[in-house]
Amino acid sequence: MKAYLTRRYMFSASHRLHSKGMSDAENRETYGKCNNPHGHGHNYSLEVTVSGQVQSATGMVCNRMELDDFVGREILQKFDIQNLNLLPQFVDDVPTTENLCIALYDILQRGFTGAHLERVRLEETMMNSFEYAGGAEIRP
């Protein structure tokens, strides 16, 4: 029997949406107010969904404390109260929430071994949320 567990985490970060491959005018047209040279911030809500067999000994898909510890150490400590533009993950990529979602998925996929990672959902605002479940990347 396959079951799913979704855990929610909160962190805050700032960013400026600006592509080195476009002119200043193209950036302003593409990103609007999100291209503000001083950046802007968000209070992100991260949902991590894992799956697996319910373990007979514990009755759980995975040890929630292990998942919380991993997310705390590998994501929250590294992304909370940070300017995303200055992080290594975004040296070559615009720190859109789509790209942030993919980066967080990749961290979880590479490091968390307690259950199968199904997807990551990242809520940026009440109006915007993004999900990534791995697979082929769409980047050119």
Q: Confirm whether 83 is domain-assigned.
A: yes
Report the number of distinct structural domains present in the chain. 1
Q: Model confidence over 67-121: pLDDT tens digits? A: 999 999 999 999 999 999 999 999 999 999 999 999 999 999 999 998 999 999 9
Q: Model confidence over 5-58: pLDDT tens digits? A: 999 999 999 999 999 999 999 999 999 999 999 999 999 999 999 999 999 999
Indicate which CATH number applies to the domain containing 101. 3.30.479.10
Q: Which pTM was predicted?
A: 0.92
Buried b (16+ CB within 10 A) or exposed e, 96-125: bbbbbbbbbbbbbeeebebbbbbbbbbbbe
Q: Confirm whether 77 is domain-assigned.
A: yes
Summary mean pLDDT of the chain: 94
Query: How far is it, in rounded angstroms, from Cα 92 to Cα 68?
Result: 29
- Domain, as residue range, for 82: 2-132
92's tokens? 């070559």
Q: How many CA atoms lie within 13 A of 40 on its CB side?
A: 13
